[in-house]
Structure 1
Amino acid sequence: MIWLQTKKIFIVILGAILNALAMNFFLIPANVYSSGFTGIAQLLSKVLSDYSPIHVSMGFLLLVLNIPVAILGWKKVGKSFTFYSFISVVLSSLFLTIIPVYKFSQDILLNAVFGGVIQAIGVGITLKWGASTGGVDIIAMVLSRMKDKPVGPYMFVLNAIIVMTAGYLYGWEKALYTLVVLYASTRVIDAIHTRHAKLTAMIITKNAEELKQAIHASLVRGITMLPARGAFSNEPKDMLMIVITRYELYDLEKIIKDVDPHAFTNIVQTAAVYGFFRRE
């Protein structure tokens, strides 16, 4: 357990460093904007510097924006996920402040692509280990736990505001390159983590009751239990079928490994869910 927590902290630190490097070495020097709360902090810092005598670092703004979201996540999502996510935000803010801004290339397209890819690697590995980089990810978790609400429209509106504001203030060419960042980062995150919003897990196990209780203690999801039998061994087993969001995949994998490491689990894409997608 201590080894897993140490490894998770290392992953969170690595993700925060990659995010800061992407911003300070590629996106900020090229005036190309990121997505989500990072993009909002970047844009606010730039606007305050250009249109007022106030200068506030992007790292500080990122931290301030995430504080109310972290409080919401702590109450609605869970202490572990929110704790590691907020640690990621704090470290990102710190690295954004101490790592100097340096332009490696004069080519805006190269900066947009490399910045988006490096940032996405940091976000992807953080998500894969059951944490997040804060902001929209925590909001997505809250929505998925409270109601069956897709986070896509919220992310689209948020990123559209960033793109439109950047285009209006600093030229539409910058806005188009921001779209390149969004596309590159989305593709990389999907490759590292999973592109599907909802997933169905089919778990074949001999410890169905213990596994069911462990899942219900951690995830607000219903489970369908079906009798199963091994074709080769002819042993009676049970199959647990559960639909989860992409943000709950790490927690489910950890529960299965802790309760029944010999369980056979198949994770498949879920195109749509009809009915009540949560457990009271």
Structure 2
Amino acid sequence: MKLNNHKIWVGAKDYFFIVFGILLYGLGFSAFIAPFGVITGGMAGAGQVVFYATEKIFGFGVPVAVTMYVLNILLLAIAYRIVGKTFVIRTIFGVTVVSIAIGVLMPLFPEPLLKGETFMSIIIGSMMCGIGLGLAFVHNGSTGGTDIVAAIMAKKTNVSVGRTMQYCDFCIISSSLLIFGLDEGIERLVYGFVVLLVVSLMADQTINTNRQAVQFIIFSPHHWEEIATAINNDAHRGCTVLNGMGWYSKQDVKVLLVMCRKIESVTIHRIIKSIDKDAFITQANVNGVYGQGFDEFKLKMPKPKHNRNAQDTASPRAMPDYGDRTTHSGHPEKLS
């Protein structure tokens, strides 16, 4: 029951931050970027392209939110098997929320909040969009579009999310020249790339900040069992017990090794100090932690080269033997 309650709490927290991040993204886009007619990346940018193109051709523009929703659903249908059911469900949720948010907010801001401050407005809006995207992505959510492509790349390789978004958004932003022409399009193109750069940097910074890991080494001779149990039950983090010896005292001691997210470090400190205020603690930042409970190590393995001649002429000597080896005396040989 306690485990189920923890899962419910984690799921509710994820959805809260997904909604918060998406609303932050929608506000930054609708209030600070879209009023200047700057085409951004992602499905929002694609929606802008469709809006301005249909406005020029047919005299009315297809709403950005409608284009975003339709294109996102098509992308999710294609990526379903790769990104997984959970991500798709949360992305559909995110796509719906961001489409509604932009559909509601854009009419509320026909004029920019910072009139006459184009560059400042673009920077503020881009920072809000980047932080919003980062928060949504950290909690396994997405606003769709190029985020889906970024999720696929993150699933298969170690390519940065922000870098993937840059590649995907390049073509969308470059379409400013086709829609507005050289005279007006150049300025919007430059602003579009400024948005792309700031959003990517802020998204990566937000993700890295939330996923940064720390390592604790804890010395508590008399309360190490209580601390280990509390960290395991209350913080839901694993705790490894190592055997050590104090060189001066020549006494055996138990040393606790704990890995956790940086945002969880305050919780770990409170648990330790509530049990043993005299405990000796060292804390260090870790560049990368891979495995259960942390990031998955992704490595693109090269495809093996098949050589028919080599397979046909292969001798038993060429084939590795990982089984038990037996010596001439009949006793198993120890593998070093």
TM-score, normalising length: structure 2? 0.58
Partner in structure 2 of residue 192 of structure 1: 206
Secondary structure of the 1:66 match is: helix
Tell me which of 9, 14, 18 is aligned to 1:8. 14
Q: For structure 2, list consecutive stretches of 5 or more residues without a partner in the other structure.
A: 1-6, 218-227, 229-241, 247-251, 265-270, 273-282, 290-296, 302-336
Matched residues in 1 for 2:151 and 2:139: separation? 15
**CA distance 1:179–1:231, shift in 2 (3 Å):** farther
Residue 36 of structure 1 is matched in structure 2 by: 42
Q: Is residue 108–residue 177 contact of structure 1 (8 Å, CA) maintained in 2?
A: no
1:88 deviates by: 0.9
Cα contact 2:176–2:188 (8 A) shared by 1: yes
**CA distance change for structure 1 residues 124 and 55 in 2, over 3 Å: closer, same or farther?**
same
Specify the alignment match of 1:158 in structure 2. 168
Could you say which structure has the larger radius of gyration? Answer: 2
Aligned residue for 1:244?
A: none
Q: Give 2:99's aligned residue.
A: 93
1:231-252 superposed Cα distances (whole Å, 9 cap, x missing partner): 7776599999xxxxxxxx99xx
Query: For residue 176 of structure 1, what is the aligned residue in structure 2?
Result: 190
Give runs of aligned pairs for residues 202-241 of structure 1, distance below 5 A: none
CA separation of 1:4/1:20 partners in 2, compared to 1, >3 Å: closer, same or farther? same
Q: Secondary structure at the match of 1:29?
A: helix
Q: Which consecutive residues of structure 1, in runs of 5 or more, have no partner in the other structure?
A: 207-227, 241-248, 255-260
Q: In the alignment, which residue of structure 1 is the partner of 2:114?
A: 105
Q: CA deviation at 1:121?
A: 1.7
What are the superposed Cα offsets for residues 204-228 of structure 1, whole Å, 9 maximum, x if unpaired?
9x9xxxxxxxxxxxxxxxxxxxxx7
Which gives a bigger RCO, structure 1 or 2 (Cα 8 Å, sep 6+)?
A: 1
Equivalent residue in structure 2 for 1:25, among 22, 31, 49: 31
Amino acid corresponding to residue 137 of structure 1 in structure 2: D
Q: In terms of mean alpha carbon deviation, does 158-167 or 177-186 score higher? A: 158-167
With over 3 angstroms needed to count, the CA separation of the structure-2 counterparts of 1:98 and 1:146, relative to structure 1, is same
CA pair 147-91 structure 1, distance change in 2 beyond 3 A: same
Measure the CA separation in 2 of the matches of 1:27 and 1:75. Answer: 34
Rate the CA distance shift 1:51–1:110 in 2: closer, same or farther, 3 A.
farther
Q: Distance in 2 between matches of 1:150 and 1:128?
A: 13
Number of equivalent positions:
244
Correspondence for 1:141 among 148, 151, 168: 151
Deviations 1:29-87 (A, max 9, x none): 11112222221122222221223245311111111111122223432122222211221
Contact residue 230 and residue 237 of structure 1 kept, 8 A: no
Determine the C-alpha separation between the residues in 1 that align with 2:158 and 2:200: 22
TM-score, normalised with respect to structure 1? 0.69
Amino acid corresponding to residue 160 of structure 1 in structure 2: F
Alignment correspondent of 2:88: 82
- Supply the distance in 2 between the matched residues of 1:57 and 1:14 (Cα, whole angstroms): 23
1:277 aligns with 2:299: yes
* 3-state SS of paired residue (2:141): coil
Whether 1:268 aligns to 2:309 is no
Q: Call closer, same or farther: CA 1:32–1:101 in 2, change over 3 Å.
A: farther
The whole-number CA distance in structure 2 between the counterparts of 1:9 and 1:53 is: 39
Equivalent residue of 2:287, what SS?
strand
SS of 1:28's partner is helix
Q: CA deviation at 1:113?
A: 0.8
Match of 1:217 in 2: none
Distance in 1 separating the partners of 2:15 and 2:95: 13
Map 1:247-258; keep pairs closer than 5 Å: none
